[in-house]
Amino acid sequence: MIVLFVLGIVMLTYAAIRGVTHRKVRWGSIVLGIILTVSMGFGLHQAQQDRFLLARVPVAKTEKIAPAITVNGLHLITTQKVADKELRYTYAIGDKSYQTVTENASTFVKTTDRQQATLKTQVVTYQANSLWRRLLLLGQQTLEKGHTTFTLTIPKDWYVVPANKVVQLQQMVKDSKASIANETGKQVKQAFMDKAATDEAFLKDTKAQDELKKKIINDVTKQVDDKLLQDMQAQLAKWQ
């Protein structure tokens, strides 16, 4: 387009010079030069304003992803608010973590009954996708990146939470595990006392003691773990 624009100017200049030196008007050159100069000038202006002659070409890719982090068996995609107040989403592929971008981009989250999470990335590009268009845009930009759309599709039992809340969840797990030892100790001591009060032989029966202790540990662990899971799910529900 620039080449044709310049060619139009050259033709007008040539016609003007010939007209002055030979006192003869070359109307063909003048008309063609005006057409080229005006049309290509308009085209150059439009190319700067409206992606003139560039075709919209979406490019999409879908990848399998993993949660950014798993806490007590709960799979989490974490978010972080950035300067433009948009959310950046963190996920994993293999053993590496990745984030979506927010500049000229949008992110959507969907749920699925499937167990595999995916990320679809669609980038809209504007291209001069033919030889003729590339010739007209010679010297101009022939490839431009447009808007990017991220679509996270995650299983229904996954959660999307702010990254700064993960520490709170991890602390809940830590406190819960610590309570198991305390509660187990109390219940074992009380159970041994109760058993010894009705069965004197129990204090000498190490096998019976071990079995009772093991049962109490298993029962307490299950109760604490069940309550922890319920408490974490309730907390996560508040953050959704």
pLDDT of 220? 92
Say how far apart CA 234 and CA 240 lie, in whole Å. Answer: 10
- Could you tell me if 127 and 207 are in contact, meaning their C-beta atoms sit under 8 angstroms apart? no
Predicted local confidence at residue 192, as pLDDT: 86
- Calculate ∠ Cα 148-150-152, nearest 5°: 175
Determine the 3-state secondary structure of 11 from DSSP: helix
Distance from the Cα of residue 46 to its chain's centroid: 34
Q: Would you state the structure tokens that stand for residue 180, as one six-digit string?
A: 């198991």
Q: Which of 139, 179, 144, 173 is nearest to 59 (CA)?
A: 144
Helix (H, G, I), strand (E, B) or coil at 214: helix
- Output the pLDDT for position 57: 74
- Helix axis angle, 206-239 to 166-198, nearest 10°: 150
DSSP 83: T
DSSP state of 54: P
Confidence (pLDDT) at 1? 46
Query: 18: which 2 tokens?
Result: 């010939």
Alpha carbon distances (Å) from 196 to 81, 185, 211:
60, 17, 15
Question: 105, 137 in Cβ contact below 8 A?
Answer: no
The pair of three-digit structure tokens given for residue 21, joined into one six-digit string: 């030196």
Start-to-end CA distance of the chain, whole Å, equals 53
Tell me if 127 sits within 8 A of 54, measured CB to CB: yes
Distance CA 84, CA 103 (A): 8
H or E stretch at 76: strand 74-81
* Averaged pLDDT in 10-residue chunks for the chain of 240 residues: 47 50 53 53 51 72 96 96 87 94 92 95 76 56 77 96 95 92 89 85 86 91 93 91
C-alpha span between 120 and 211 (Å, rounded): 53
What does the DSSP assignment read for 148-206? Answer: EEEEEEEETT-EEEEGGGHHHHHHHHHHHHHHHHHHHHHHHHHHHHHHHHH-GGGGG-H
* Parallel/antiparallel/unpaired status of strands 69-71 and 74-81: antiparallel
- pTM beyond cutoff 0.75: no
Amino acid of residue 77? I
